Chain A
Amino acid sequence: KAGVTQTPRYLIKTRGQQVTLSCSPISGHRSVSWYQQTPGQGLQFLFEYFSETQRNKGNFPGRFSGRQFSNSRSEMNVSTLELGDSALYLCASSQQSGSLETQYFGPGTRLLVL
């Protein structure tokens, strides 16, 4: 089975722009979660989608949004980019949504905001 894929892998944007990141989960997985990692910080949870519905949301401003499509692919959007949004964005998929579910991570999108 193909793993989790994320596009693009690298992105450079300027402050004020917006960006859309894409995540394709493992075939058959219905849950997709997004995380942000910045230097010195652990992985910070952004949100989780399951069957096109947002299940949980982390403590991020409303500039961060996401959605999931009927084929389980997910997109994350960040509007009005700030310098502090420079980070590695990881998505992870699992078959179901729940505490026992192993999450399988993609390679990440590295975003640099200038």
Chain B
Amino acid sequence: ILNVEQSPQSLHVQEGDSTNFTCSFPSSNFYALHWYRWETAKSPEALFVMTLNGDEKKKGRISATLNTKEGYSYLYIKGSQPEDSATYLCAFRKEKLVFGTGTRLLVSP
């Protein structure tokens, strides 16, 4: 059974804080790791698809790194804003996408 773990489960930060969360996945037979942002009452939105060990991707204030040898990925948000409040999901891709349960981020003004 493929297990994708995300931590922490939830996080509450103040506007301007930088934050990061972790996604752990099986390190063997790695294909790809996906990150999604899911805002309340909206559809999950793709952030990154990561494939290579050492990969680092960036989109505005959000960046992600990948370590396939040890089976983890970090997502960083620099200078969090209230509009960053959402659940951040990672998904390990083999034949299918296996999602973690997400990290729920709340950014207070």
Q: Do A and B bind each other?
A: yes
Given the known interface contacts A42-B101, A43-B89, A100-B49, the answer about A48 and B43 at a Cβ–Cβ threshold of 8 Å is no
Contacts of B51 in A (CB 8 A): 99-100
The answer to whether B31 touches A99, judged by C-beta atoms less than 8 angstroms apart, is yes
Instruction: Note all chain B residues with C-beta closer than 8 A to A105.
Output: 36, 43-45
- In the bound assembly, the distance between CA atoms of A103 and B34 in angstroms comes to 9
Contact status B46-A104, CB under 8 Å: yes
Interface-side segment among B10-18, B57-65, B75-83, B90-98: B90-98
Interface string of B92-108 (1 = CB under 8 A from A): 01111111111000000
Known contacts: A102-B46, A104-B46. The answer to whether A42 contacts B97 by CB under 8 A is no
Cβ-neighbour of A107 out of B4, B43, B46 (below 8 A): B43
Contact across chains for A58 and B49 when beta carbons are under 8 A apart:
no
Q: Say how far B56's CB is from chain A's closest CB, in angstroms.
A: 17
A87 to B99, CA, bound (A): 16
Residues of A within 8 A of B (CB): 3-4, 33, 35, 40-45, 48, 55-56, 58, 90, 92, 99-108
Residues on B lying within 8 angstroms of A by beta carbon are 4, 31-32, 34, 36, 42-46, 49, 51, 89, 91, 93-102
Top 7 closest pairs, chain A to chain B, by CB: A99-B31, A105-B43, A99-B32, A42-B101, A43-B99, A42-B99, A99-B93
